[in-house]
Structure 1
Amino acid sequence: MKKFLNIKSVFFYFVFLQCGTLLAQGNGIAGITEATQMVTSYFDPATKLIYAIGAVVGLIGGVKVYNKFSSGDPDTSKTAASWFGACIFLIVAATILRSFFL
């Protein structure tokens, strides 16, 4: 009886694997092309969003640096460098990512 069950289970797994390979032989190139088009269609809005975030970071940094400069704080240049460095990093990172993937 055990030998019959073992042969039956081997046959079941063999048929199961064959059905899986038959179903997987569809048109995979079309699916990959569609996925690529979907992903690349998100880059323009994402790049514009990152540019907008960079602009907001630049404005906030400008206001903070102005407040420090007006109050006579000695480390104004350090604050300016950090805020505007962050803004430039956002813009450069968005541009480089877009050029890599598009």
Structure 2
Amino acid sequence: MNGTFKKLKGLKLANFKGVKREKVFILSLLLLSTTPVLAGGGAGAFTTAGNEVKKYWTPLKTFIQFVGGIVGLIGGLRIYNKWQNGDQDVNKEILGWGGACLFLTIVPTFVGSFFGLT
């Protein structure tokens, strides 16, 4: 066993003296020829991807609308706090948080109807 480690200790990874060029060439051709097989077909791949997106769209839409509701609640609390403290930037906060809340609640419905996802 110690003889094996002594042989490996002197081995350099960048040294290809032990490997013939033909073997490296054949291995690279083998790897390059199997890559298109793993890629799959063009139209079939798009159909499969579209079906996967349709399968996950309804839960994703619900989650995005849930996040929009949470953003609306947090924004409402921040606006209320600023209003009670007499801050002058309440209008900016209302537009910012209200816009974010509307965006997160309306956009999933718009995207779903635009791409034909229900």
Deviates more, 1:74-83 or 1:63-72: 74-83
Q: Distance in 2 between matches of 1:93 and 1:67?
A: 28
Percent identity of equivalent pairs: 41
1:49 matched to 2:63? The reply is yes
Which residue does 2:49 correspond to in 1? Answer: 35
Q: Distance in 2 between matches of 1:44 and 1:79?
A: 31
SS at match of 1:42: helix
1:43 CA displacement: 0.7
1:75 matched to 2:85? The reply is no
1:54-92 CA-to-partner distances (Å, cap 9, x unmatched) read 000000000000000010101111111110111101122
1:16-46 CA-to-partner distances (Å, cap 9, x unmatched) read x8xxx9x7xx998766544322210111011
- TM-score between both structures, scaled by the size of structure 2: 0.58
For the aligned residues, what is the CA RMSD? 2.9
User: 1:27 and 1:54, CA in 2 relative to 1: closer, same or farther beyond 3 A?
Assistant: closer
- TM-score between both structures, scaled by the size of structure 1: 0.66
Q: Which has the higher helix share?
A: 1
- Count of residues paired in the alignment: 86
Which of 65, 89, 102 pairs up with 1:88?
A: 102
Which consecutive residues of structure 1, in runs of 5 or more, have no partner in the other structure? 1-16
Which consecutive residues of structure 2, in runs of 5 or more, have no partner in the other structure? 1-32
